[in-house]
Amino acid sequence: MTAPARALTVSESATVHTVLAVPGMHCAGCMGKVERALAALDGVTSARTNLTARTVEVVHQSEIETPALVAALAAIGFDAQPREIEAEPVSAVKPLLAPLGVAAFACMNVMLMSVSVWSGAEGTTRSLFHWVSALIGVPAIAYAGRPFFASAWKVLRHGKTNMDVPISIGVTIATGLSFYETLSGGAEAWFDGVLMLLMFLLAGRVLDAMMRDRARSGVDALLRQVATGAMVVAADGTTRWLDTKSLQPGMLMRVAAGERLAADGEVLRGQTRLDQSLLTGESAPVQAGPGTLVHAGTLNVDAPVDVRVTAIGQDTALSEIARLMEAAGQSRSKYVRIADRAARLYAPAVHTLAGLTFAGWMLAGAGWYQSLVIAIAVLIITCPCALGLAVPVAQVVAAGALLKKGLLVKDGSALERMAEVDRLLLDKTGTLTLGRPVPDDVALDALSAPQASVALALASHSRHPLSLGLVQALSARGIPAAILEDVREEPGQGVTARWNGLSVALGRPASAQGMATALRIEGDPVRVIPFADRLRPDTTEALVWLEALGVESSILSGDSVTAVAAVSHATGLTAQAAASPADKQEAIQRLQNAGRKVMMAGDGLNDGPALAAAHASIAPGSASDVGRQAADMVFTADSLLAIPRAIRVSRQTMRVVRQNFVLAIGYNMLAVPLAILGHVTPLIAAIAMSTSSLIVVANSLRLAGEAK
Amino acid sequence: MNGVAFMLPIALGMGLLGLVAFFWSLKRGQFSDLDGAAARILIEDEEREP
């Protein structure tokens, strides 16, 4: 094709797919709004939202640019970012769905044959049914059993064992025996039992994977809320937005007030204060001027500054923390999950039992063939069908209940470790406290209604942290914003405007003591609103609850001794202050060496190594990327009650898991004597298997209402 | 026996049809947004003209 013709097709009718992340979308109403707003644009063919991934896929003409789509969503109040293709998460559920489908199909059809055999089909009819069963069953077992065979082979090669080893052995031997029976025209084939077993086990795996997928997409949605990038000023004075990955040393970043630095650098122009609490835990902002070295992740509080990038990515101050975290995560990866611990005891026990049965029948004078068939019946009846469901069903139900309370559980192992915790270390800034300035209630009460609405209107024009705090507090009180004219924000000074002909301003108070802002309205006295970082709501209640759970708590903070002492006094907790990331990790190590199971609650980059080293960890949704990724659970609500709730639900979950084990094994116990005596038929195996699975599922569902 | 020869392929064929339908829907992404599928029924078409 010639070049002009190709250019023509592109400009006329090329449709492109764009995927946007919309983290704020969480209900049917949002989905409808997003889809309608995008579809209303000229040149958009279709827009389809995905609520699970919090994304929208837009099919549109190529002349519409991505920023236009983002702007359309911004107009209806949704933040959106183009989704990077390589960031597409791999679903853990998808590879298991096809084996589950095959197992379910084959199980149903083979069961159809089996029912006829059980009801008395004989001779050639029975033989025909067995052959049809084998024809469906053998390929289906080979396909649907692959996830188990692969996992069993992997651990066996390293000389270990897990739940998949007895499953694989049972499945293989039972299939082999059934095939032999079919060939020799025997009376009993077990294809239906094997397929049912695989179906139940795969259902358990799918549930487990669903929980991980759901938590990960939740965390991904939180991560995408943070714009990672910087406004870069070129040599000719033009500015453009670059994402973090495209930043290069030597570039000049212009960092507005309220923005986080995307890279390490040196301040070139401007005077400001920087909030380094995510990095160091220190709550008081530090002064920065020309020549000050600044770090990625710090928040610019006061005024815009120009920063020369000195280091990016691996070279930043963060790499030190990343190195500590890598070392810290190793102890946790050694944790053996409860199902595998159970398998360590269970697998040798059932294999010994089957071996003894075989030996017993041989001694009793039965033939090779009969002894082998009975031994295999023992293996099949003890195959851990309900055991495969015992853990995932309980954990999925609990994770679902916690999600409704704003707690994201990363995976099932998190619930298992969280249940064992008996010691809690809390970071101060951002974890025990909200980590953001909150205006004083008394000062807000003192404002008249018009004053408050002017303050809200002024604050809404600024991205300064104090303004954001003021907007949040006043909006929560249901105050409407006044209508202003001539709004202007002067960096470092505040916002000025005209309201009903009067000049109004929100800015730095004349005598700055701590954090405060001053509201000036022409003709009125100046109103000073003090700000402070407050304790999270329900802190006292949460600490009482933790004590009732037998968890000893204390503060582990990187902030200065005086700042920590104030919070320590308010909460009655002992505290360690001025701890570096390595100190925090060491404190946890010391406690764990003394036999305590330590839980870490923290949000900052400086908490990363501690979060990774602790037996279990939790981070608030406002935490740094590092904190959220290192933690086992993330809580999105402000209330500190999330922490005791997480521990209590985890313990309840493990109680139900243990009950499930007892129920599942107990059921097997009843059937095992029958099997050893040689009375178990495929019919009895099928009934035992499905009933014990149903009981386990029903018992787990009791957890649904537990996360109160 | 004649009945079996007749019914067996029908039963298997229907089951196979279900399996094929499941794989088809899997491939078409019908299982990629289960939460959204549940919520979608509640979307109101405000802009629909009578």
CA A420 to chain centre: 20
* B9: containing domain: 2-40
Q: Is the pLDDT of residue A58 over 80?
A: yes
- The CATH number given to whatever domain includes residue A463 is 3.40.1110.10
Out of A192, A264, A275, A427, pick the active-site residue: A427
Decide if B15 is inside a domain.
yes
Integer Cα distance of A527 and A539 in angstroms = 30
CA A205 to chain centre: 18
Q: So what's the pLDDT on residue A316?
A: 65
Q: Is the pLDDT of residue A707 over 70?
A: no
Give the end of a domain, one of A316, A342, A360.
Answer: A316
What residues of B are in contact with residue A93 (Cβ under 8 Å)?
31
Decide if B45 is inside a domain.
no
Sequence-separated contacts (24+) of A616-623 with Cβ below 8 Å: A616/A414, A616/A417, A616/A418, A616/A420, A616/A421, A618/A642, A618/A643, A618/A646, A619/A431, A620/A430, A620/A431, A620/A435, A621/A222, A622/A430, A622/A434, A622/A435, A622/A436, A623/A430
Alpha-carbon gap: A335 to the closest alpha carbon of chain B (Å) = 32
Does A298 lie in the same domain as A235? Answer: yes
Q: Which of A84-98, A126-140, A286-300, A683-697 has the lowest mean pLDDT?
A: A84-98
A129's tokens: 């049914």
Q: Is the pLDDT of residue A3 over 50?
A: no
A533 flagged as catalytic: no
Give the end of a domain, one of A487, A507, A534.
Answer: A534
CB A397 within 8 A of CB A701: yes
**Cross-chain Cβ contact B36/A128 below 8 Å:** no
Decide if B21 is inside a domain.
yes
Q: Which of A28, A36, A132 sits opposite B39 (nearest CB)?
A: A28
Q: Is the pLDDT of residue A699 over 80?
A: yes
Number of domains in chain A: 4
Residues 98-117 of chain A whose Cβ lies under 8 A from any Cβ of chain B: 98, 101-102, 105, 108-109, 112
Average per-residue pLDDT for chain A: 82
- In 3D space, the residue among A264, A296, A297 whose CA is nearest the CA of residue A278 turns out to be A297
Helices marked H in A287-333 — which ranges?
Answer: 318-333
What is the ipTM metric for this complex? 0.72
Alpha-carbon gap: B33 to the closest alpha carbon of chain A (Å) = 5
Helix axes B2-27, A123-144, angle to 10 degrees: 10
Does A462 lie in the same domain as A423? Answer: no
User: pLDDT (tens digit, 9 = 90+) per residue, A646-678?
Assistant: 999 999 999 999 999 888 888 878 888 888 888
Q: So what's the pLDDT on residue A5?
A: 39
Q: Is the pLDDT of residue B47 over 60?
A: no
Q: So what's the pLDDT on residue A468?
A: 81
User: pLDDT (tens digit, 9 = 90+) per residue, A571-586?
Assistant: 888 888 888 888 888 8
Residue A242 vs residue A639, higher pLDDT: A639
Q: So what's the pLDDT on residue A9?
A: 40
Q: So what's the pLDDT on residue A134?
A: 92
What residues of B are in contact with residue A109 (Cβ under 8 Å)?
11-12, 15
Integer Cα distance of A196 and A515 in angstroms = 65
Integer Cα distance of A206 and A97 in angstroms = 7
- The CATH number given to whatever domain includes residue A257 is 2.70.150.10
Tokens 């009993």 -> residue? A188
Decide if B22 is inside a domain.
yes
CB A36 within 8 A of CB A21: no
Residue A133 vs residue A430, higher pLDDT: A133
What residues of A are in contact with residue B19 (Cβ under 8 Å)?
101-102, 105
User: pLDDT (tens digit, 9 = 90+) per residue, A323-343?
Assistant: 777 666 666 667 777 877 887
Q: Is the pLDDT of residue A627 over 70?
A: yes
Integer Cα distance of A133 and A192 in angstroms = 8
Q: Quick one: pLDDT band at residue A2, thresholds 50, 70, 90?
A: very low
Q: Is the pLDDT of residue A205 over 50?
A: yes
Q: Is the pLDDT of residue A11 over 50?
A: no
At residue A511, φ and ψ (nearest 5 deg) are -105, 95
Amino acid making up residue A486: D
Q: Is the pLDDT of residue A428 over 70?
A: yes
Decide if B47 is inside a domain.
no
How much is the average pLDDT of A541-553?
A: 89
Number of domains in chain B: 1
* A574: containing domain: 405-434+536-651
Q: So what's the pLDDT on residue A655?
A: 92
CB A575 within 8 A of CB A400: no
**What is the full DSSP assignment across A432-468?**
IEEEEEEE-HHHHHTS-HHHHHHHHHHHTT---HHHH
Decide if A451 is inside a domain.
yes
Does A446 lie in the same domain as A422? Answer: no
Dihedral sign computed on CA atoms, order A241, A242, A244, A247: negative
Alpha-carbon gap: A708 to the closest alpha carbon of chain B (Å) = 23
CB A649 within 8 A of CB A657: no
Q: So what's the pLDDT on residue A330?
A: 63
Q: Is the pLDDT of residue A224 over 60?
A: no
User: pLDDT (tens digit, 9 = 90+) per residue, A225-239?
Assistant: 554 677 888 878 777
b/e A3-31 (16+ beta carbons within 10 angstroms → b): eeeeeeeeeeeeeeebebbbbebeebebb
Q: Which of A323-337, A373-387, A479-493 has the lowest mean pLDDT?
A: A323-337
Q: So what's the pLDDT on residue A384?
A: 65
Q: Which of A87-96, A470-479, A645-654 has the lowest mean pLDDT?
A: A87-96
Q: Which residues contact A88 (CB under 8 A, 6 or more apart)?
A: none
- Compute the radius of gyration of chain A from its Cα atoms: 32
How much is the average pLDDT of A72-84?
A: 76
Decide if B24 is inside a domain.
yes
Sheet with A252-255: strands ordered across: A239-243, A229-233, A252-255, A305-311, A264-269, A293-294
Give the end of a domain, one of A627, A651, A675.
Answer: A651
Q: Which residues contact A187 (CB under 8 A, 6 or more apart)?
A: A126, A181
Q: So what's the pLDDT on residue A328?
A: 67
Does A462 lie in the same domain as A440? Answer: yes
- Give the H or E element holding residue A182: helix A164-183
At residue A503, φ and ψ (nearest 5 deg) are -85, 135
- In 3D space, the residue among A635, A601, A628 whose CA is nearest the CA of residue A617 turns out to be A601
pTM of the model: 0.74
